Amino acid sequence: MNTERFEMMMVQYQRLVYSVCYQMVCDEQLAQDLAQDTFLSAWLHLDSCREGNEKAWLCRIAVNKAKDHLKSAAVRRSAVWEPEKMEVLSADTDMQAALESRDAAQRTAQMVHQLRAPYREVCVACFLGGLTPAQTARQLGRPLGTVRTQLFRGRALLRGQLAAAV
């Protein structure tokens, strides 16, 4: 596929790609960013697109980009560790519940910092630092499988501590 054909494909499918992204993330600006990422990825991997399969190929890339964003550590971290940034409290929101939620997040973060040595570094990097397991593995110089196992075990230890605290 040449550059002209790719540009025509972009014009033809830009609304479709944006719609797919928007349906998954429900945020206009984010959907625009993901649509751009989709076309950039498509351009970089143009040789993997079979002739006549462009529409489905682009939709699959868009879905994967949106899924990757939704599973990203930054999104999980903002939902779990930073509740004060998730929404502006309205007048009828129960302030006591909001404060308790913030305190619970802080206590949980303290529990992460108190984990045993091999689990603490990995859990702090992923849960509090927003790194992916692959980034954490590179940063700590550990195999990816080891990091994933340590995350799994660290999460289990945290679950046990949280259950005991409740």
pLDDT at 81: 46
Query: pTM above 0.85?
Result: no
Tens-place pLDDT, residues 80-124 = 444 444 444 444 445 566 566 667 777 777 888 888 888 888 888
Comparison of pLDDT for 49 and 64, the residue scoring more? 64
Residue 58 has pLDDT above 60, yes or no: yes
Encode 34-56: b = buried (16+ Cβ within 10 Å), e = exposed.
bbebbbeebeeeeeebeeeebee
Comparison of pLDDT for 156 and 81, the residue scoring more? 156
CA distance 23 to 38: 15
Residue 147 has a CB neighbour count (10 Å cut-off) of 25
Are 66 and 48 in contact, with CB atoms under 8 Å apart?
Answer: no
